[in-house]
Amino acid sequence: MNNSAIERLVIVGGGTAGWMTAASLASHFSKTPMAITLVESSAIGTIGVGEATIPSIRRFYGALGLKDAEVLKRTQATAKLAIQFDGWRESGHSFFHPFGVYGQDVRQVGFHHYWLRMHREGLAGDIGDYSLAVALAQSGKFTPPAPNPPTPLSVFDWALHFDASLFAALMKDTALSLGVEAVDARIDSVRCREPDGFISELVLDSGKVVAGDLFIDCSGFRGLLIEGALQTGFDDWGEWLHCDRAVALQSELDDPEVLPPYTRSIAHSAGWQWKIPLQHRQGNGYVYSSQFISDDEALATLRENVAGAPRTEPNIIPFRPGRRRQAWRKNCIAVGLAAGFLEPLESTSIALIETAIDKIKLLFPDKNCVAPLVDEFNDMTALEYERVRDFIILHYKLNGRSEPFWQRCRDSAVPDTLQHKMDLFRERGHLVKYRWEIFQNASWVALYMGLGLLPARYDPATEYFDTDYLKKAFAQMRQSLGEAAAAAPAHAAFLAQEGIRT
């Protein structure tokens, strides 16, 4: 090891971001002499939300040697195959965004082109009728995908709904078992050294000082190091993302015998409500714009739309959509809410924690934190956030509701990157994929089609097949998906069978 190798890595914050980072870096660097210390304050606590994930979470904990069944059990989790969007296009309309493909691409032509042609001829059902993940979700069934799917039609993925505090506890246990040192104290001040302004020490309320070579800021919205000490600046995306508050409330399950294997996202007058089923309780929240509705009105709407008895007092959480101008500055890297937050839609925040950790591993510096590494990290992070931002804006832009909040969302200009994507899809169903996209083509198709943005033209190459052939192929797909869903166990039964839910 050279003299300038990082010897002391200090993580600030013990929420989901802090403990995921600690566990993953401790595992990755287990054979190095680098010491990892995490400072958290149980008196301050964590944000206590963040319970829906996307499938990459399973790869994340898998790399730590954790198995699905174990994580599901320890975190009271359920499976998530999709998000159901209710009332976004218009009142009474509903569609799924599944973690999986639609139909089969044939002869280098995307399935959605064939679907569009058949739809125009009145010969296709809803596009969701050609997705196994949707078929399972609609019937409340769950089974993991076959390891070697018999056809591309059987390909789908799944994620988890988990208890955020139990998941952070699992990550903490993993990190501690890998030698991470935990300190429970409040950080009172941050010392920077001369002349380069690098962070050198944290001063705790006990008077103790924690010194480090590299600091990971997982202190949540406050960004204690990245903003408090280093004044990095924040790009506010409020012109595009109008929601700026949420009220969260845990309740009893609507029906403990029926666990939907999907998140629900229900549009209301000034935002949307999440419903996240766990094994033992339900997470609920209303994400809204304070310009269009008061906290009291939002809470009243949420209460009206939660069937189970409340288990907690409502928690009102203000947020500012946007991101730190630099996620990495000097010897400090921000991860989690300290780096930025868009909003809860599509559960992207924990996924962005995972990608930040991946990049830290990829570009791990020495004590000098030289500019090329910092710049590369910041460029990649900026692109990742912007891609996710565009995907989220799309949901609002294409809404078909009439309330003033929704009209504002529809009328707001969108970033050029998103406009370009929408134009190409609208013109001939072309899907633009930029670097550092977290969401794949099928997700964009789900949203375009679900919200009613249908292309003007489909690919003329679909004419290779005559209509009768396609009609039969479409009917066969529906039949085989229906049969696969019928053969799968109900989600609640699956969790019981596997000994996950007792």
Ligand X SMILES: Cc1cc2nc3c(=O)[nH]c(=O)nc-3n(C[C@H](O)[C@H](O)[C@H](O)COP(=O)(O)OP(=O)(O)OC[C@H]3O[C@@H](n4cnc5c(N)ncnc54)[C@H](O)[C@@H]3O)c2cc1C
Among 13, 110, 223, 340, binds ligand X (CB under 6 A): 13
CA distance 480 to 204: 61
Compare residues 218 and 500 and give the one whose CB is closer to ligand X: 218
Q: Is 336 in the site for ligand X (CB under 6 A)?
A: yes
Shortest distance in whole angstroms from residue 186 CB to ligand X: 4
Contacts with 420 (C-beta within 8 Å, 6 or more apart), sequence order = 432
By beta-carbon proximity to ligand X, the closer residue of 17 and 327 is: 17
> CA–CA distance from 180 to each of 8, 29, 35 (Å)?
11, 11, 7
Taking the CA atoms of 421, 321, 218 and 17 in sequence, report the sign of the dihedral they define. negative
- DSSP annotation of 227 reads I
The minimum distance between CB 466 and ligand X, in angstroms, equals 45
- Among 186, 191, 208, 320, the residue binding ligand X under the rule CB under 6 A is 186
Whether the CB-CB separation of 1 and 205 falls below 8 Å is answered with no
**For ligand X, which is the closer residue by CB, 298 or 451?**
298
Tokens of 208: 């103790």
Q: What does the per-residue mask of binding to ligand X show for 116-155, with x meaning CB under 6 A?
A: ----------------------------------------
Residue 496, H or E segment: helix 491-497
Q: How far is the CB of 248 from ligand X (least distance, A)?
A: 6
Q: Which is nearer to ligand X, 54 or 481 (CB)?
A: 54
Q: Which residues pair with 96 in a beta bridge?
A: 84
Check binding of 350 to ligand X (CB under 6 A). Answer: yes
**From 87, 103, 344, 365, residue interacting with ligand X (rule: CB under 6 A):** 344
Residue from the set 11, 50, 249, 495 that interacts with ligand X by CB under 6 A: 50
Least distance CB 423 / ligand X (angstroms): 30
Rounded to 5, what percent of the chain is helix, strand, coil? 40, 20, 40
Active site residue 361: no
**Minimum distance of ligand X from residue 129's CB (angstroms):** 27
Task: For residue 345, report the phi and psi dihedrals to the nearest 5 degrees.
Answer: -55, 135
CA distances from residue 90 to 86, 93, 95, 243, 452 in whole angstroms, order as listed = 8, 6, 11, 19, 10
Q: What is the 3-state secondary structure (H, E, C) of 359-418?
A: HHHHCCCCCCCCHHHHHHHHHHHHHHHHHHHHHHHHHHHCCCCCCHHHHHHHHCCCCHHH
Q: Which residue lies nearer to ligand X by CB, 131 or 219? A: 219
* Catalytic site residue from 73, 80, 397, 421: 80
Q: Which of 11, 51, 198, 450 binds ligand X (CB under 6 A)?
A: 51
Q: Does 222 bind ligand X (CB under 6 A)?
A: yes
Question: From the list 6, 14, 425, 495, which residue makes contact with ligand X (rule: CB under 6 A)?
Answer: 14
Would you call 154 helix, strand, or coil by DSSP?
helix
Nearest distance in Å: CB 322, ligand X: 13
For the record, the structure tokens of 420 come out as: 């370009």
What residues line the site for ligand X (CB under 6 A)? 13-18, 39-41, 44-47, 49-53, 164, 186-187, 218-220, 222, 224, 246, 248, 285, 317, 319, 336-338, 344, 347, 349-350
* Active site residues per annotation: 80
